[in-house]
Structure 1
Amino acid sequence: MDRTTHTTDETRDGLIVLVTDSRAEDRLKLLSERLGERTGYRIRSMPVDDLEDAFDRWCPDGFVLTIDRSDRLRELIDRVRSRAVGTPIVVAPQRGSEELATTAFRANASEYAPLERDGAADRIAEAIRSRETEIRGRDDEFRHILADELPDEAFIIGEDGTYFEAKVRPEAEDLYTISSDELPGLTLSDCFPDDTAASLQKCIDRTLRTEEVRSIEYDLEASGEWRRFEARVVPLEERVEGQRAVVWLARDITDRAKRERELRSRQAQLETLNRINAVVRQVIETLVEAPARNAIEREVCNQLVDSELYCGSWIAERAGNGSLAYRTGAGDATTYLERARTEEFTAECPFQRAARTGTVQTVTHILERQPLPDPLQAAAREDDVRAAIAVPICHDDATYGVLSVLASRPDAFSDSEKDGFELLGETIGFTIMAVKNRQLLFADTIVELEFRIDGGETFSFDLSEEYDCTCSLEWAGTTVEGRTYQFVTVAGLDGETVMEEARAHDSVEECRLIHDRIERCTIEMRLCESGVRTLTNYGVTIRDVTVEDGIGTCRIEVPQDADIRELADALAGIYENTELVARREVDREVRTAAERRNRILDELTERQLSTLRLAYYGGFFDWPRESTGEEIAAAMDVSPPTMHQHLRKGLKTILGEFFESGGATTE
């Protein structure tokens, strides 16, 4: 900063030097004018680096330090005092702070007057005129500085813990049972519990021993509630009533402490959630390679408890009487797991609700609320189980069982944690369904079941009963978006009538006519609810579904170890009057890939095979196409319509071998 001189009247006696490290020229000019008016002195301002010129050229009557850094301020005060003994020194930063005020007080500045405060110029002028730099009494310094920078409480406390002086902001005075006027003469032991008083006394001892400013946090009961305070303890150079002493500046940080606790809590929850998500991801990854349902369930339970986030995990499946039967479990909550394995629970407990509603259920603070059946409640107390979550294991409409996880954390299973477990339950359900399908696909011997369904309320039942027609299922399945479609052939009724009835039926969301011949048609339907879809979710192959005169016949194939009661119950959930009328073991014909290829070749004509080869090797099926239909037709020396006819017939033969032989109604 260039040297700048503001002179109010060069003929006046006396000189005040403004020392600054700021470039706030307008503010300094205004301060110079006000100081000149109030003191009658000349005013000169200069940067810190030019301060030595002031000592060499003049004998100032006072120094005003507009410094905003406490470390530089103390050094500057010492420099001024060493070169101008007895000259008033006023600390006047642009903005005040507790740190600057403490530095000014410890360095025995004449005055502390932040420029942002009203009346700063008057106080500076008064300090300069009084010339009481080194002889100002301790009481005046204390009152002036603390009046400006008092946080909430300020005290002078002796080395033996005795209060000598106290000052409390008026708005905080009503919080305390002892007023600031009553504190002098009392000790820390008179005002605080023994353990708190001892801790505060140790802080005073360390402050005086090291002669350094120290900080401490402590709790104090005020107006019937506990509040948190932070204190800065500043050693005094002078003795007070013969004792060494400190200035104790305290601030009420209750709100800040609360926010910090909440932040730590949220951070801990986030860390826990990250660990939980990592466990869930790891479990899901292992499911891909699980060979069987038992292995899937055992691996899930083991990995959950190995994470050390949970003290127990177990899986139950639905039993025939509507209760849940224990399948497998793991963890240190051995008493709880033994109760779950041996007891039969039909009451409305969390895992029963999860199975019934298909939604995740949680209970927290188990030991305080006692939400479990008596045997499990007693076991939870013995094993210190404080929270539990019950997760339905399901895929689409099929519920295979319930995963129950136990935790020693009373507030476990937040909403985010529940979302992770919900995904885990769906993934386990999907994997179980895939395993069932895989077992059925590779089984040499399968079981064929035939069900009779009397009086269903779906479209096919109502149509066959009203029009005396026969409805046969060609294919049913679910798209990746979860929409269920059926292709149904209706014999004995025209397509127009079938479409009218389908559009008016409550179970049909969308419909489209595919084929329409005399007294026979095929339609595509999107259904709200489907028993066929329910069965496929249990890993079965549907061979035939026919509805005639309001009576349905359903033939399905299942693995030898399939739970037939489970399938019957699932089907009865859609069609009330369901009866298993036949059960047959069937040896499946084993056909190699070569045999299947030869079968397809036998069914293709030479024209169809030639067309398929020219189209395949000519890039007709690539995108973008390497050859057009016209180019393939030219190579065959036939017209394009003829080429497309051969191509479609050939493709239908190949796809028919794949779909019809593999199960016409599987997903």
Structure 2
Amino acid sequence: MVTRDALAEAALDTLPITVAILDGDGEILLTNQSWKEFAPDLDVDHVGVNYVATARMADDDYARRAVEGLEAVLEGDRDTFAMEYPCHTPSEKQWFLMRASRFAVDGDVRVSVVHLEITERKLAEIEADEAVERLREEQRNLEHVLERVDGLVRDVTDAAVGAASRDEIERQVCRRLAATDPYVLAWIGRVDVTTRRISPREWAGRDDVPLENDELVLASDESHPAVSALEAGESRVIQNVADFEDADRWWPTGADEWLQSVAAIPIEYGDVTYGVLVLFADEADAFDDRELLVLESLAGTVSTAMNAIETRQMLTTETVVELQVEIEDPSLFVKALANDLEAAVTYRGLTYDRDGTALVFFYVDRTDSVADAAVSLDGIESATVLSEYDDGTLLELSVSDDVVVAIADHGGVVQRFDAEPNGRTVDVALQLPNSQSTRSIYDLLEQRYDRVELLSYHESDQPTRTPRDVLAELDSELTDRQQMTLQKAFYAGYFEWPRTVSGEELAESMGVSRSTFHQHLRTAQGKLLAELFAADPTSEG
């Protein structure tokens, strides 16, 4: 019969966190498998070592805090102690959470010491703090620009930072700008991804001016400064409307009484375009270089605030955008591979290796010369045959600058990226978190390829907790190696019966031993099942 102590020790060995049990003097009585693997070069369990005495030897503030906390728990002054600490290596930054808890067994004092890696959470916190600091720095910089617009900078920045939604940002910014001389009208427009039409969403100023709504379409006419600014990705200015050849097309007769100059500034954050800000002034030459610098800085503040709100909303959104397009370009490697091999190419998935290189998986309806044809294409660094079937081959492609990676970087999920040998187009289906990322991805595709045709655009509700949510939470739990192992095994057909690839073959493709591969796979499967069962509303606990 298995004893209770043996069962507890075996259970500890399954935990993906390092655990040690101390006696009342701080001596290690028991460690789990993760503790031993944390320093594999030592390959010892440290049983019999005085943990507190060893920690006291380290001469740094974190060690001193740890010793003080552990001694307080051992002496019974407190029941628990927890602290976060860095443990960086020359190759990467790492953070851990140490937690010590006092308990008793048969009247004897015992203390459990747990170390949990929190690197991803810490990096996310640092990134969030840096984003907040960038926003504050933008505000500090703007407040020192020009004396005349000091009040404007402060008002617009406060409106952007203090707003609770993107609509409120646009509304408040337009009001603040239109209330500042020499501006008499301000509007902010967004681009519809399906019609490519720029539509003013918020405006303020004169009420007797017919806005250019339904008249501005990207690529159809670049004479309007709003269209030109979005097409070029930089500000456009008309310093004197009277000299503008197409003025009568966009603005009413008699507008020269109040409309003298116009500026259009794209609202962009990185490669995401949120829209365009259009300002009208009752003075000619109102938008000199200094004025434009201020407005571009303001647009940067507005876009940063919009991005912060969009990011927050993405975490709680209940809708997704489903996009389907056709791409016609013989240089697109999926199309080139299908043509070269005269075989259908079907997308299977995406993961990353330990150095961050993207690994994209495709199934090819052919069994000979597949890897050689793939590696000869531009952008393909290496090609590996993971599995061979009677009628096809599963390829792992190591890519550098690939559109599939760009889509993933925008928060998109590729559902289909397929090419037939006799067709001219690549069939692409994507799922994206919002309309802004959809617009950016569509623009990216149009910039890269000869012809991109939008087939469908659909916003749909998603369940409260979707597979995407489970994957996002699982991503924070899995290490890079665990995630890569799990995805490779799945894409290669390791879980199919009969198996088309062995664990030894997959381990070799990853450059690790067979036992290491299976260890990563078991750990990843355990975390996946735990997350899936937690996601099931019918499960207990």
TM-score, normalised via structure 2 length: 0.48
TM-score, normalised via structure 1 length: 0.40
